[in-house]
């Protein structure tokens, strides 16, 4: 386990970015730190480490045969996600099309995000549609 940690464990980017709003920075902290969204929404390599070059690009091979869709900015925007409906979905599990989250995301909502404040949900929903592009540029 020590070798795996040495190869794949890293501190997520949660430090504030000066040119971004407080809300965006709070979303960055929640998505990359406490929420650790990339743990499921990022594909893994053969050794089980996250493929950081495909951060938040989705993962088709989650434990139990489940999958997690891409939550990269382009994909969220292409699927008509907005700050309002993304924050709502993180609180309720209901998507803009009226469908419900499935797989492990049900537990994420029921045991985690539904308890966040409206301000924190909005911060996550503000960060996600643009955050991954900014991190890649750093």
Give the pLDDT confidence of 19-56 residue by residue, as tens digits. Answer: 899 999 999 999 988 878 988 999 998 888 888 888 89
Domain that holds residue 114: 21-37+71-137
Q: Can you tell me the distance from the alpha carbon of 91 to that of 83, in angstroms, rounded to the nearest whole number?
A: 12
Give the highest mean pLDDT range of 10-19, 70-79, 108-117.
108-117
Number of domains composing the chain: 1
Q: Residue 136 above 50 pLDDT?
A: no
Residue 137 predicted with pLDDT over 50: no
In-domain check, residue 46: no
Residue 81, in any domain of the structure: yes
In the structure encoding, which two tokens stand for residue 76, read together?
Answer: 């969220």
Q: What is the CATH number of the domain that holds 131?
A: 1.10.760
């Amino acid at each position: 386990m020590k070798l795996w940690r040495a190869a794949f464990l890293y501190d997520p980017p949660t430090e504030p970015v000066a040119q971004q709003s407080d809300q965006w920075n709070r979303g960055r902290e929640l998505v990359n730190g406490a929420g650790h969204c990339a743990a499921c929404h990022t594909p893994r390599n053969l050794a089980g480490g996250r493929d950081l070059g495909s951060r938040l690009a989705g993962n088709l091979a989650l434990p139990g045969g489940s999958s997690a869709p891409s939550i990269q900015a382009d994909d969220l925007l292409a699927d008509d996600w907005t700050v309002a409906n993304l924050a709502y979905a993180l609180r309720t599990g209901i998507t803009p099309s009226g469908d419900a989250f499935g797989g492990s995301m049900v537990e994420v909502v029921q045991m985690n995000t539904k308890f966040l404040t409206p301000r924190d949900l909005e911060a996550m929903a503000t960060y996600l549609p643009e955050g991954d592009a900014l991190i890649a540029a750093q």
